[in-house]
Amino acid sequence: MQGLALVIMGEEVVVFGVWVSPYSCRVETALRVKGVPYRYIEEDLGNKSPLLLKYDPIHEKVPVLVHNGNPIAESLVILEYIDETWPQGFPILPKDPYERATACFWSKFIDDKCMPAITQACWGEGEASDKAVEEATELLMFLENELIKEKRLFGGERIGMVDIAANTV
Ligand SMILES: N[C@@H](CCC(=O)N[C@@H](CS)C(=O)NCC(=O)O)C(=O)O
C-alpha cells in the first residue's frame, strides 16, 4: 500500500484525498492558487490506509493535509492553515477581521446547512427528498444574495475562502 511506504518529512506537503470529494478538492484548489507543490495520495474509503487512520483518528475522513509531518484535518481548518502558512501571493481569507469572520461564517453555513440539505435532496427518497429540495433551494438563495452583494465572487474580484468552499455545492 503506497500510504504505508510513504515517508513524510522535511518540507513535504501531502494531501490525502478522494478525487470525487468536494472537501478534498477545496484543499487542492487552495494549494494550487497559492502555488504550493504537493503530493497527492488517493484514498480508498472502503479500505482506508493506516496513515489516514493515524493522521485523522477522530473522523477518519479525507482530506488530511500533512505538512512537515504535522497532520491537519477538516477542509475549512486546512484552508486557514494554508493561508497562514503560505501568506505570499493569493490571499484566501481577508485581512480585515470583520470580513474574515464573515467569510468564515458563510463557509460554515455551506458545510453545516447547505451540504446536508443538498445531499438529502440528491440522494434522499420520497417525501424527505422533496422537502430537502425546498430547503436546499431556500438555503442557496441566501448564498446567492451574498454573491450579488459581493460583486462577481464571494471574495470580491478574486476567489477566496467562500468561493473555494461553495465551489462544491
Ligand atoms: N467536515 C469534513 C468532511 C469530510 C468528509 O465528509 N469526507 C468524506 C469524503 S467526501 C469522507 O472521508 N468520508 C469517509 C467516511 O465517512 O468514512 C471536511 O470538511 O473535511
| Spans of all domains in the chain | 2-85, 97-166
Ligand 1 in reach of 61 Cβ (< 6 A): yes
Q: Hey, whose CA ends up nearest to atom 15 of ligand 1?
A: 61
Q: Nearest to residue 53, comparing CAs of 40, 67, 43?
A: 43
User: Residue 22 and residue 111: Cα distance in Å, rounded?
Assistant: 11
pLDDT at 85: 96
In angstroms, rounded to a whole number, what is the distance separating the alpha carbons of residues 1 and 21? 21
Along the 169 residues of the chain, how does pLDDT read in single tens digits? 444 444 444 579 999 999 999 999 999 999 999 999 999 999 999 999 999 999 999 999 999 999 999 999 999 999 999 999 999 878 999 999 999 999 999 999 999 999 999 999 988 888 888 899 999 999 999 998 888 776 778 877 788 999 999 987 4
According to the model, what pLDDT value does residue 69 have? 94
Distance CA 71, CA 110 (A): 24
Could you give the CA distance from residue 143 to residue 153 in angstroms, rounded to a whole number?
11
> What pLDDT score does 62 carry?
98
What does the pLDDT read at residue 84?
96
- Block residue for cell numbers 440539505: 117
Q: What are phi and psi of 156, to 5 degrees?
A: 90, -115
Q: Is the CB of 16 under 6 A from ligand 1?
A: no
Instruction: Judge if the upstream peptide bond of residue 50 is cis by omega within 30 degrees of 0.
Output: no
Compute the distance from residue 149 Cα to the ligand 1 centre, in Å.
Answer: 31
Q: Compute how many other C-beta atoms are within 10 angstroms of the C-beta atom of residue 10.
A: 8
Q: What pLDDT score does 155 carry?
A: 77
For CA atoms 84, 86, 87, 92, give the dihedral sign: negative
The CATH topology of domain 2-85 is Glutaredoxin (3.40.30)
Q: Is 89 left (phi over 0), alpha (psi -120 to 50) or beta?
A: left
With a 6 Å cutoff on the Cβ, whether 45 touches ligand 1 is yes
CATH number of 97-166, picked from 3.40.50.1370, 2.60.120.260, 3.30.465.10, 1.20.1050.10? 1.20.1050.10
Q: How far is the CA of 110 from the centre of ligand 1 (A)?
A: 14
